[in-house]
Structure 1
Amino acid sequence: MDTRRAAFDACVGLGYHCETTYQLRRITGVESAHFFDWLDLDLDAVTEAVDTGFRDVLRTGAVEPFSDGQCALDRGSDIRFFHDFTPGDGERLTQSDIDHQLPRAQAKFAALAERWRRLTASPAHVLHVHLDAFDEASADDLRRLRAVLAAGHPGHTFTLLWLRRTAPADAAALPPGILTGTVAAAPGRWQGDDRAWDAAFAGLRVPRPRPAPTEAGDA
C-alpha cells in the first residue's frame, strides 16, 4: 500500500512538545485529546511509554518539580508536564503542589491511556506523528517504535510520520510504513511554522476542518 496516498482516519501526536499538538489540531480541526498531547518528551520516552502500556507514567512518588519549578518531571517516564500541575503561589511548582494535584493528573492520563487502547484496537488507520524537534532520533529509533506499536497492538493499522528540522541522513534505512518530512523551526513562536507544516502534510489524506456552514443570504 502507498501509505502517503492512503486515507487516514485519525492523526495522533507523539511529541516532542506542544508544537505537534497545536499543528495537528490546526491542520485536522480535530480537538479530541490524545495521550501525548501538550507533553514534552523525546522519542525514547514515547517508545517506552507505549511499550510498557503507560504503567510507569505518573507513579506516586516519582513526580517532582523540574526546571526551577516551571514544570513537573516524571522520573518513571522522563516526561515533562508543563500544563497539568499549577503552582500554588502562581510562580513555581513545589513538591506539595504536585502531590496534591497528582491524583487528578493520574485520572486524566488513565482515561487517555484507555482512549489510546480503544483507538489502537479499532479498525481506524492512524497516522502517528512525531516531531523530532532537535534532530536527535535515527532510523533505528523509528524502527524500534514501529516494532513496539506492532507488537503491543496486533491488528492496529498505522503509519508513522517522522518530522525533523533537517532531512535524516539515514532515511533509506527506513522500512515501509514510516514517512519522513521536514518542518522548519519558528524562532519565538512555540506553535511552529504553519506553512512548513502545511507543506509536510501536502498530499496526505488526513481529516481536515469542515468549512463553516453558509447562512442564508450570504453571497
Structure 2
Amino acid sequence: MYDLCVGLGYHCESTHQIRRITGEDRAHYFDWLDLELASVIETLEADFANVLRPGLSEPFSDGACALDRGSDIRFFHEFGADADAPGGLLTQDAIDRQLPRVRKKFDFLAERWRATSASAARVLYVHHDAFDESDTDDLLRLRAALSRSHPGHRFGLLWLRRTPPPSRSAARLPDGIRWDTVEPVPGRWEGDDAGWDRALAPFPLRRRAPAPGTAGARPAA
C-alpha cells in the first residue's frame, strides 16, 4: 500500500488527477507548477535551494506567469497581477513584491517534502511526461535524486507518457519504475479521467474522501 501519491509535473493535469483519484488535497512541492523533468531533478539535487532566489524571477509568456530562471519553473498560480495591470498580466514589480510570500510557502513545502522522505511513509511518485520528452536515463537520474533525499525512503516511480517509450528504452527500466500512457483531451486541461484511472489502478493507493467541492480544484492565481 502506498501512503501517498505525489506528482512531479509536468503541469496542472497531474495534480488534478492525483487529487481526484486519491481524495488527498494536501499540497506537495511540485503541485500546480509547470516544469520539465530536468527541473524536478535539479531541484531535488539542490535540496530546493535553486528555486525562487532573489532577482531571478520575471514575467514570462507575455505576463501570463512568472518564470524562475534559477530552476526554469513556471509559476502560473502563485503570483497575482495588480488590479490595475493592463490585461491582468504580471509585471516585474508585482513579482518582486510578492516574492517573499511565495518563497515562504515553498520553504514550508520543502520542509514537508524532507519530513515525508525521512518518514516511514511509502510514496508513489508520478511524473507526467506530457510531451514525451524524457528517456530512461532521466528516470534513473530522478530515482537517484529521490534516493539521496533519505537513504531509507520507500517509493515507487510511475512514468506516464502520451505514447509508449521505445522498446529498447522501456527494457532498461529497473524494478520500481513503471511506465504507462494517458491520452490528451483537446481543450480539457484536466486530462482524461478514464485514462488516469486505468494507469493508476494497478497501484494500491490509500484513498480518502475529499471535502465537498475540493477534489482537483486549482488554486486561485
Give the TM-score, by structure 2 length. 0.91
Counterpart in the other structure of 1:55: 49
Q: Superposition pairs for residues 112-127 of structure 1, below 5 Å?
A: 112-127=109-124
Do structure 1's residue 42 and structure 2's residue 36 form an aligned pair? Answer: yes
Residue 102 of structure 1 aligns to a residue in which SS?
A: helix
Counterpart in the other structure of 1:97: 94
- Structure 1 stretches of 4+ moved >6 Å: none
What is the rounded CA distance, in whole Å, between the counterparts of 2:170 and 2:63 in structure 1?
Answer: 38
What is the rounded CA distance, in whole Å, between the counterparts of 2:41 and 2:59 in structure 1?
Answer: 23
Q: Do the aligned partners of 2:35 and 2:73 also contact (CA within 8 Å) in 1?
A: yes
Do structure 1's residue 27 and structure 2's residue 21 form an aligned pair? Answer: yes
Q: Superposition pairs for residues 67-146 of structure 1, below 5 Å?
A: 67-88=61-82, 89=85, 91-146=88-143
The structural deviation recorded for 1:211 is 9.2
Residue 40 of structure 1 aligns to a residue in which SS?
A: coil
| Structure 1: 5+ residue stretches without partners | 1-6, 213-219
Q: Deviations over 1:49-81 (max 9, x none)?
A: 001000010001000000000000000000000
Aligned length: 206
Residue 189 of structure 2 aligns to a residue in which SS?
A: coil
Counterpart in the other structure of 1:162: 159
Q: Do the aligned partners of 1:21 and 1:37 also contact (CA within 8 Å) in 2?
A: yes
Residue 203 of structure 2 aligns to a residue in which SS?
A: coil
Residue 48 of structure 1 aligns to a residue in which SS?
A: helix
Residue 111 of structure 2 aligns to a residue in which SS?
A: helix
What is the rounded CA distance, in whole Å, between the counterparts of 2:108 and 2:209 in structure 1?
Answer: 27
Amino acid at match of 1:202: A
| Structure 2: 5+ residue stretches without partners | 212-221
Among 54, 61, 65, the residue aligned to 2:59: 65
Q: Do the aligned partners of 2:117 and 2:149 also contact (CA within 8 Å) in 1?
A: no
Do structure 1's residue 11 and structure 2's residue 19 form an aligned pair? Answer: no
Counterpart in the other structure of 1:217: none
Q: Do the aligned partners of 1:27 and 1:209 also contact (CA within 8 Å) in 2?
A: no
Q: Do the aligned partners of 2:114 and 2:149 also contact (CA within 8 Å) in 1?
A: no
Amino acid at match of 1:121: A
Q: Do the aligned partners of 2:24 and 2:210 also contact (CA within 8 Å) in 1?
A: no
What is the rounded CA distance, in whole Å, between the counterparts of 1:197 and 1:165 in structure 2?
Answer: 11
RMSD (Å), alpha carbons: 1.2
Q: Do the aligned partners of 2:126 and 2:158 also contact (CA within 8 Å) in 1?
A: yes
Amino acid at match of 2:186: P
The structural deviation recorded for 1:152 is 2.7
Residue 25 of structure 1 aligns to a residue in which SS?
A: helix
The structural deviation recorded for 1:208 is 2.1
Counterpart in the other structure of 1:175: 174
Do structure 1's residue 204 and structure 2's residue 198 form an aligned pair? Answer: no
Counterpart in the other structure of 2:215: none
- Identity of aligned pairs, percent? 61
Residue 39 of structure 1 aligns to a residue in which SS?
A: coil
